[in-house]
Amino acid sequence: MNILKLIFFAIRSYGASVTFLLMDPVMLIIPIVVFSRYKNIERAQNDIYGSHVRYSLGNLVSTSILSGILAGLFCAILTTTLGITFQSSNGIFFVILLSLILMLINSRYICLSYSGGILSVIILVISSLIERGLISEGSRFEHFFSEYVYFDVTSLMAVIAIFHIVEAILMWFDGHRGAIPVFMKHKGEVVGAFIMQRFWVIPVLLCVLYSGPSIPGETLPTPDWWPLIKPDGLEAIAKDAIFTTFTVLAILGYGDFAITMPVRKKVKRSALGLLQFSILLLIFAFLSEKYYVFKYIAAIFSPLGHETLILLERFREKKGNALFRYSDEGIIVLDTIPEKAAEKMGISSGDMILEINNTRVKSIEDIDEILSFSPSFVWIKVKDSSGNEKVLEYKDYENGVRALGFLTVPKNDFGIQVVEP
């Protein structure tokens, strides 16, 4: 029953915290940053699709915030029931701040695994220097460090691991949203690709050891094993320990590109890799509760492991065979233009157009010739990325079909704007 009480407590605390954050003007900085990033994505869609957008700015921002709030609730329940606690909340704000600074270098660095890992290593090194007497106890620097910067590395690594588990779930279901078709150089030729950039604004609910004056009102009893991850100094006051919660806004970011496979398939492969990384980081975090050396291992693994995961995915894409390239067999569809015939009839990214009205097509010129008479009805044989063939139909008796509306890689790549991966 105590577990259920913890869950209900987490839900109540999270709801109250989210309401408070929505009313805090300072916290609007993070949604504004996300808004500006998605504004760039909307502009890119307008340029590529010709005044059309597949995902509007409102869609990108609202789904980012709403799905982030749901993900934050799941994290709050998990961290509260497992008992991942902090000695204080001060240092966590430096983690969020560093994430925003790193985002200016590269959008993918907004991930907490980078800022959290970097600051954790700094915390561990400075703590070691203080213990060895190389930094004087009682000095201004030591006082500032202890009061405002220091945080529990084990707890932070566990929270980051849980965040990435949630991020993997978000990527699996929502990472494809806002993907932009582009052209890239791949093995000496220009090919089609997609760039994915997705951000989720997540309220972070954390349990913090409270050491102030007594708080009137009801207290919530916890199981004997709670918390699993204990803050420093808890043993001395274990019987009288009281925890409270605090909430900050964080951003989870996903950035990648797809050359060798459709976007959704690529995103799911990346999500599975991130899930494996997250579970390993969580294991290191729990081990660091008993073995101090694992604090260093977890802190170093957090940014390096995450970066290795990204570089591995990029290596796979660069060494694999491009899906979106010019072919003499048919016309590869890089993407369909929103609300045009190709999208309406069910043609998808990665499909190869083989025939139109029983006529073999191998170039855009072939399609233009067939549609130059504005036929009122067309049937198209396509082969999907798995090799399955199907026939799709479209009719427009009023205006005729003058264009299908899709993007492809032309045979002549002169004048094509190429994006660096």
**Letter for the amino acid at 335?**
D
Model confidence over 38-58: pLDDT tens digits? 998 888 888 888 877 888 988
Cβ atoms of residues 186 and 320 within 8 Å: no
Contacts of 386 (CB under 8 A, 6+ apart): none
Cβ atoms of residues 395 and 377 within 8 Å: yes
Cβ atoms of residues 86 and 151 within 8 Å: yes
Long-range contacts of residues 356-362, Cβ cutoff 8 Å, at least 24 apart: 356/380, 356/381, 361/330, 361/331, 362/328, 362/329, 362/330, 362/331
Instruction: Give the pLDDT score at 110.
Output: 78
- Cis peptide bond prior to 410, omega within 30° of 0: no
Which residue ranges form the domains of the chain, and what is each CATH number? Answer: 2-319 (no CATH), 331-407 (2.30.42.10)
Instruction: Give the pLDDT score at 15.
Output: 85
Average pLDDT over residues 71-81: 88
Q: Considering the chain, what is the average pLDDT of its residues?
A: 85
Average pLDDT over residues 364-377: 91
Instruction: Give the pLDDT score at 352.
Output: 94
DSSP reduced 3-state for 151: coil
pLDDT range class, residue 307, cuts 50, 70, 90: very high
Nearest to 187 by CA among 299, 326, 92: 326
pLDDT at 78 over 80: yes
pTM of the full predicted structure? 0.84
Helices (H), 251-290: 263-288
pLDDT range class, residue 27, cuts 50, 70, 90: low
Instruction: Give the pLDDT score at 84.
Output: 83
Instruction: Give the pLDDT score at 245.
Output: 78
Model confidence over 220-260: pLDDT tens digits? 666 676 777 776 655 545 555 677 777 877 778 888 899 99
pLDDT range class, residue 214, cuts 50, 70, 90: low
Lowest mean pLDDT among 59-63, 198-202, 226-230: 226-230
Nearest to 55 by CA among 232, 177, 151: 177
Model confidence over 83-118: pLDDT tens digits? 888 777 777 778 878 887 887 888 778 788 999 999
Question: What does each C-alpha distance from 128 to 124, 131, 141, 146, 292 come to in angstroms?
Answer: 6, 5, 14, 13, 12
Instruction: Give the pLDDT score at 380.
Output: 95
Instruction: Give the pLDDT score at 222.
Output: 67
Q: Averaging pLDDT over each range in 154-158, 251-255, 278-282, 363-367, which range is the top one?
A: 278-282
Report how far apart the first and last C-alpha atoms of the chain are (Å, whole number).
Answer: 52
9 vs 158, more confident: 158
- Compute the distance between CA of residue 258 and CA of residue 156 in angstroms, rounded to an integer: 32
Cβ atoms of residues 259 and 184 within 8 Å: yes
Instruction: Give the pLDDT score at 275.
Output: 96
